Amino acid sequence: MESFIQTDAAINPGNSGGALVNMDGGLVGINTAIASPTGSYSGYGFAVPSNIVSKVVEDLLKYGRVQRGVLGIMIRSLDGNLAKEKDLEINSGVYVDSLFESSAAEVAGIKKGDVIINIDNKKIKTSPELQEVVARHRPGDEIKITVNRDGKEMGFKVTLMDKDGGKTIAEKEHKETLSILGAEFETLDKKVARKLDIAGGVKVEKLYAGKLRKYTDMREGFIITKVDGQKIKDLDDLADVLKKKKGGVMLEGVYEDIPGEYYYAFGM
């Protein structure tokens, strides 16, 4: 996303993540980058707008991760040169270069060559404007898109998806219990469980700063099948077991691509 507020306020290296405020002390944006011939404040600063920041904060608090709805299209800002190249009657909007198969936009009926000119009654002139509007929404949200197709305006209702093609918000699951481990977990897919000949488990999708990374040599992809000898079939099982744990914990499990069983111990 490149929907930034441009400012000539003095922003220096190290100010990224800091607040851009107005004269009343209200938050306008979060400082992100500078364009400067000297590498310091003489130049232009760029900040993420506060409305996007608010949505990100709300997502993190409510769901544990940023929920970003996507249209599933490749786009270009329309200008005079592109309009001439594509023989279009308009020269403002966002040109749809291509669509991903079964994407939100394709399912709704939007086609390659359409020019998006309006989203939810907001006029769209450039790609960053489109990205900013869509970024305010979550998977499953419905937006109204108006396109210019062969000189005629057409309206579509589009239900946004996530990057994997789903329409359901990835809810924050047992965040308080599991966040201390410093990992992103998912209930193991049933097909993978059958392939590995196990009843189920919880897969460690990503590792962050936390107990698992600090006290073990576990790597991403580990599948937890037992905690202190107790079988784990899904994310609920893992959270329920760990809620009651104090002191040392032993995780037992396997990797999809490495033979044998592995054990990792740490303290709660």
Residue 34 class from Cβ within 10 Å (0-12 exposed, 13-18 middle, 19+ buried)? buried
Whole-prediction pTM value?
0.62
Measure CA of the first residue to CA of the last residue in the chain; give whole Å. 39
Q: What is the pLDDT of residues 8-35, one digit of tens each?
A: 888 888 899 999 999 999 999 999 998 8
Q: Which CATH number fits domain 73-159: 2.30.42.10, 2.160.10.10, 2.60.120.380, 3.40.50.10420?
A: 2.30.42.10
Residue 229 class from Cβ within 10 Å (0-12 exposed, 13-18 middle, 19+ buried)? exposed
Q: Which CATH number fits domain 175-267: 1.10.357.10, 1.10.10.10, 2.30.42.10, 3.90.79.10?
A: 2.30.42.10
In this prediction, the residues of the chain whose per-residue pLDDT falls under 50 are: 173
Say what the pLDDT of residue 220 is: 93
Say what the pLDDT of residue 107 is: 95
Say what the pLDDT of residue 9 is: 86
Q: What is the pLDDT of residues 38-87, one digit of tens each?
A: 877 778 899 999 988 998 888 887 777 788 899 999 999 999 999 999 99
CA torsion angle 180 183 184 187 (round to 10): -90
Cα gap 2→132, rounded to integer Å = 8
Say what the pLDDT of residue 219 is: 93
Backbone angles phi, psi at 30, to 5 degrees: -115, 120
Residue 182: count of CB within 10 angstroms of its CB: 15
